[in-house]
């Protein structure tokens, strides 16, 4: 008999989130066959069966987070008894708990005492006090409009709980990590965003001639700007109050996947050719989308680029990826009339650059210089 335990994908991984099982209890499994999908804080991986046999028992259910090393299933021979199942059930530590949502009755809270007496039986008053009901809302059916017990009960019935159709969707491990990181960024960094419109006409032509993506070209010019203005290529340690400025430029590229946002890291971009950058982005973005990217490939970014140019978004406020100190957002490129050569009007391809930065570290003037440098490199592109 084989015990399937929650695997550890990285040195810092403490728990895993079971996304889905590919097999059901009593299904036959083969050695090396995908058994389940598990996500850690950063990546999602398939776990393969260590042996051939029958999946006798599943201990860890889908959408549960379980500590590394905990038994989540047993594989054995058909009909084989599992002697240790009770012991393993006790050891199974479920981090997430199922919560139930319920709509409460819309009973009005009794307001402060009003002028005038209200006629009601002692029992009707008692029920109203217990249920926090405003008797002025109830029409009595007793003598002279006196409110009786039956009137209060009828009112309660009219505002009684209604059944609501809903479903509970637990956040995946990756989605929870995104939520935690965004919350940390929002509550720690003092974020400001500078925006400028840039002419991409010549830049687009050059990228097309070299058969590379706009994102690849942006990484190329961004690396040159970061080399010159190195304060942006940094991490801020808020505990030690230290700014760590890096020599290497490793740019994270935000990639939208079915499971949420991932940020593959393109390393040493200032030392790479445009084609090498393009090849790396294609490879890592593909691996991020199909779930085969390694944890090492989503660590160690010094600056992040997020490009929404392929979507209907012109201007947005990107959220800093802590502990980085800035992030660049690119909106979609649109053809617009623009003034060129002093007073001539021409149709140009324009887009907005949005630079979000931690104002604890970077001043607005420095952010403006950085955007100005980027605009210069984009509007007058050279592949050096």
Nearest to 355 by CA among 329, 383, 316: 329
CA dist 76 and 54 (Å) reads 5
Which run of H or E residues covers position 224?
helix 214-228
Residue 230 in 3-state DSSP? helix
Q: What is the pLDDT of residue 135?
A: 83
Other beta carbons within 10 Å of 371: 19
Nearest to 72 by CA among 13, 83, 85, 80: 85
Beta bridge partners of 342: none
Residue 274 in 3-state DSSP? helix
Q: In the chain, what are the domains?
A: 2-91 (2.40.50.100), 102-165 (4.10.320.10), 173-379 (3.30.559.10)
Q: Dihedral through CA 205, CA 206, CA 212, CA 214, nearest 10?
A: -70
Give the residue numbers annotated as catalytic, written as ranges. 359
| Pairing of β 53-58 and β 260-262 | unpaired
Angle at 75 between CA 72 and CA 81, to 5 degrees: 100
Q: What is the pLDDT of residue 16?
A: 85
Q: What is the pLDDT of residue 241?
A: 87
Q: Does the reported pTM lie above 0.75?
A: no
Inter-residue contact 249 to 233 (CB < 8 Å) = yes
pLDDT tens string, the chain, 384 residues long: the values are 888 998 887 666 788 888 889 999 999 999 989 999 888 766 778 888 888 999 999 988 888 888 888 999 999 888 888 876 656 665 664 454 433 333 434 444 444 444 456 788 888 888 888 888 888 888 888 888 889 888 888 888 776 544 555 566 666 666 666 666 667 666 677 899 999 999 999 999 999 999 999 999 999 999 999 999 999 999 998 888 899 999 999 999 999 888 778 899 999 999 999 999 999 999 999 998 888 888 889 889 999 999 998 888 999 999 998 899 999 999 999 999 998 887 889 999 999 999 999 999 999 999 999 999 999 999 999 987
Q: What is the pLDDT of residue 359?
A: 93
Beta bridge partners of 349: 335
> Largest alpha-carbon pair distance within the chain?
96
In our burial notation (b when 16+ CB lie closer than 10 A, e otherwise), range 187-216 reads eebebebbbebbbbbebbebbeeeebbbbb
Q: What is the pLDDT of residue 126?
A: 84
CA dist 32 and 41 (Å) reads 24
């Amino acid at each position: 008999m084989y015990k399937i335990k929650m695997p550890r994908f990285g040195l810092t991984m403490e728990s895993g989130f079971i996304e889905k099982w590919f097999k059901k209890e009593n299904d036959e499994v083969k050695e090396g066959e995908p058994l389940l999908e598990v996500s850690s804080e950063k990546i999602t991986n398939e776990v393969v069966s260590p042996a051939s046999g029958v999946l006798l028992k599943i201990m860890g259910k889908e959408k549960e987070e379980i500590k590394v090393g905990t038994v989540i299933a047993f594989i054995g021979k058909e009909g084989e008894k599992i002697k240790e199942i009770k012991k393993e059930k006790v050891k199974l530590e479920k981090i997430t708990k199922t919560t139930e949502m319920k709509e409460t009755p819309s009973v009005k809270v009794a307001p402060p005492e009003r002028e005038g007496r209200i006629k009601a039986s002692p029992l009707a008053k008692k029920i109203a006090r217990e249920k926090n009901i405003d008797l002025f809302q109830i029409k009595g059916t007793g003598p002279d409009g006196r409110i009786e017990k039956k009137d209060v009960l009828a009112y309660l019935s009219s505002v009684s709980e209604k059944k609501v159709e809903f479903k509970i969707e637990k956040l995946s491990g990756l989605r929870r990590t995104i939520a935690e990181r965004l919350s940390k960024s929002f509550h720690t960094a003092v974020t400001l965003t500078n925006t400028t419109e840039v002419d991409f006409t010549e830049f687009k032509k050059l990228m097309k001639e070299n058969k590379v993506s706009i994102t690849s070209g942006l990484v190329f010019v961004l690396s040159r700007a970061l080399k010159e203005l190195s304060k942006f290529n940094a991490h801020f340690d808020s505990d030690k109050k230290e700014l760590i400025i890096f020599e290497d430029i490793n740019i994270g590229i935000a990639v939208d996947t079915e499971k949420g946002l991932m940020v593959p890291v393109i390393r040493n971009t200032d030392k790479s050719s445009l084609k090498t950058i393009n090849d790396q982005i294609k490879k890592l973005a593909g691996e991020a989308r199909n779930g085969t990217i390694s944890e090492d490939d989503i660590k160690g970014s010094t600056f992040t680029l997020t490009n929404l140019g392929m979507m209907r978004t012109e201007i947005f406020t990107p959220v800093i990826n802590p502990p980085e100190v800035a992030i660049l957002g690119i909106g979609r490129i649109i053809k617009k009339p623009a003034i060129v050569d002093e007073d001539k009007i021409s149709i140009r391809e324009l887009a907005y650059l949005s630079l979000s930065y931690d104002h604890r570290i970077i001043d607005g003037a420095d952010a403006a210089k950085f955007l100005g440098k980027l605009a210069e490199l984009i509007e007058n592109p050279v592949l050096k």
